[in-house]
Structure 1
Amino acid sequence: MNRYVLFLIASMLFVGSNVGIGKSIVATVPILLFALLRFVVAVVVLAPQYRLAKMRRVSRGEWINLFLQALFGTFLFTLLMLGGVQRTTAVAAGVITSTIPAVVALLAWVFLRERPGARAVSAIVLAVVGVVVVTLARESGQSDASGASSLTGNLMVLGAVFCESTYVILSRRLTQTLSPLDICAYTHAFGLLLMAPFGIVSLIGFDFASVPAQTWLMIVWYALSASIFSFWLWMKGIRHVPGQLAGVFTAMLPVAAATYGIVVLGERPTLAHGIALACVVGGIAIASLRPRKTRPAAP
């Protein structure tokens, strides 16, 4: 196993564990405040990318595209994801989040008329089945109120998945003219501007002393791993690993989320979680692994 494969695995482990870490953070910090802090940390770290001479070369159309990416991929995604994990389990959220590749293929089919092959269609169907199973299932001993809350949370996470998939579709064109790191920096700057009015309101009257030091460290880690580390590792690894094979490693996302949920949060996975995870991971494998080439029969 070469180091670039390890980069891809580490990237997905960061993304998956962040699902659970986000749930831990919003237990003590308001979602809007946490979201604001996440963007502040990211923009500070990405500050070297904001060079006026370089930014002037970005066209008006590219800025509009960047704003739309920020609206869907950073602002709405963050709010829906954090609101979702606050209401549902990290295990369920991880399973739903891992359907992003299938949703990207679905959106490309609908809006870009990119007709998927049989394997991609199979992955989309399995992803839909997995999401339906985990969304409609009710955990044992769960009350009507908590069941409704989990359903709302799952739907919010699914909304976050569609937002992130929209971001991926929008970014395709920009990657031809802007570097991935520039796209990351500019979309986070827009994200901060969008989040600031809401986050600043949440600052009023908030007791910062009530938040444990460990939670503040988790906020910094979440911001760095979500915006910098996982992004850099994935972009570094994808250059040296075939795209189809790289897709397989997205299966590490729900595994990491489930592991955090079970080990750290004490969640109990159900049969529905197992079925949904099998569907999603199976779909990823079908879409990503190349079929074996059959040798032509001897004359």
Structure 2
Amino acid sequence: MRDSSRITSMGSLVLAMFMVGSSVVAGRLMVEELPVFLGSALRFALASALLVPALLFVEGGLPRLGKRTWAMLTAQSFLGSFAFTVFLLKGLALTSPASAGIITSATPAFMGLAAWLFFGERPRGRSLAGIVLAVTGVLAINLDSVTGGSELASRPVLGNLLVLAAVGCETLFLLVRKALPEDRQRLSPLAVSTLLSLLGLAFFLPAGLWEAWHHGWPAAGLEAWLAVVWYAVVITVGAYFFWFWGVMRVDGSMAGVATAALPLSSVGLSALVLGERPTAGMLVGCALVLTGILAVSGVRLPKRFGAGNPNGLRTREARAESCKSEKC
């Protein structure tokens, strides 16, 4: 891949992760005034209203897919759109947005742990170290919550556990994605985003309508409604599209590196928008999780920092190619 194309693809992934990092701030603002299911149904309804016309205009309609692919996509939507969102938003109501963002960013490490538990893919060396570092980072955040923590957290330990449950759902979402049959190659990023949004709406709509009927239409403020719009347009549409577009064009290790932008985004935006002050324990946990992400992704700093790479990062593939050229 040419350097310019690689930079564009990585930029797309990093942008997607910064958008996803903002979800903890938008989610916190939303759940303060809107019920979880109603707010999420509105989010997916607005996102679908944008994505469906775009798909019809660009691709002429939904692609033809086999029954197994539909089943896999439905499972993905249930895990990644429905269950993940429910656990995350319920957790955000109890813990700090910054802590939730850092815990969520540990997904690559938990993915490696799940592959070990379910598929016998035993992690070795750097991958094992990355998993240990990420888990230690999450434990550090929970310990910080017990000893003081953020002023925005009312029941931080329970909230963090709910966010961990969301991470578990996201991990299963990624495992299901690996099992998609071969016709997944016919799904464009726009088609995947549209289908997951429509399926997410189908899961949230019944409970959302019940909440509106049972509790009445909420008298939410402007911030809550703007959070719904942001969640729909920036996170559901923008982040989905930029991630699926970029991940098709880079190797897995580079995609893993891009996820490091998520905790930075969540901590920074929590401080900027919500006025949350990062605690020492939170920063330590963030550093451990970031290091774990880089380790699991197979990225290491070369002895001659930056040699052959303007970013100073080299993947296993890059090192092998360099080795060939130098006849080592």
Give yes or no for TM over 0.5: yes
Instruction: Tell me if structure 2 keeps the 8 A contact 1:139–1:270.
Output: no
Q: Which range moves more in the overlay, 235-244 or 31-40? A: 235-244
Q: What TM-score do the two structures reach when normalised by structure 2?
A: 0.80
The within-5 A match list for 1:148-227 is: 149-174=155-180, 176-178=182-184, 179=187, 180-204=189-213, 205-208=215-218, 210-227=219-236
The within-5 A match list for 1:3-14 is: 3-14=8-19
Who is 1:71 aligned against? Answer: 78
Q: What is the root-mean-square deviation of aligned Cα atoms in Å?
A: 2.9
Instruction: Tell me if structure 1 keeps the 8 A contact 2:28–2:97.
Output: yes
Q: Classify 1:70/1:276 alpha carbon distance in 2 versus 1 (closer, same or farther; 3 Å).
A: same
Deviation at 1:43, TM superposition (A): 2.0
The within-5 A match list for 1:2-81 is: 2-48=7-53, 49=55, 54=62, 57-81=64-88
Who is 2:256 aligned against? Answer: 247
Q: Classify 1:33/1:286 alpha carbon distance in 2 versus 1 (closer, same or farther; 3 Å).
A: same
Question: Structure 2: 5+ residue runs without aligned partners?
Answer: 303-318
Q: Percentage identity across aligned positions?
A: 33
Q: Which range moves more in the overlay, 111-120 or 236-245? A: 236-245
Write the letter of the residue equivalent to 2:78: L
Question: Structure 1: 5+ residue runs without aligned partners?
Answer: none
Write the letter of the residue equivalent to 1:201: W
* 3-state SS of 1:58 partner: coil
Whole-angstrom distance in 1 between the partners of 2:265 and 2:76: 26
Q: Deviations over 1:170-202 (max 9, x none)?
A: 012327312144333333322222212210011
* 3-state SS of 1:115 partner: coil
Instruction: Tell me if structure 1 keeps the 8 A contact 2:101–2:267.
Output: yes
Q: Classify 1:52/1:7 alpha carbon distance in 2 versus 1 (closer, same or farther; 3 Å).
A: closer
Write the letter of the residue equivalent to 1:91: A
- 1:123 paired with 2:133, answer no
Q: What TM-score do the two structures reach when normalised by structure 1?
A: 0.87
Q: Deviations over 1:249-294 (max 9, x none)?
A: 2111111111121122121221211111111001112222157559
The within-5 A match list for 1:90-105 is: 90-105=97-112
Whole-angstrom distance in 2 between the partners of 1:6 and 1:52: 28
Deviation at 1:68, TM superposition (A): 1.4
Who is 2:312 aligned against? Answer: none
Deviation at 1:7, TM superposition (A): 1.9
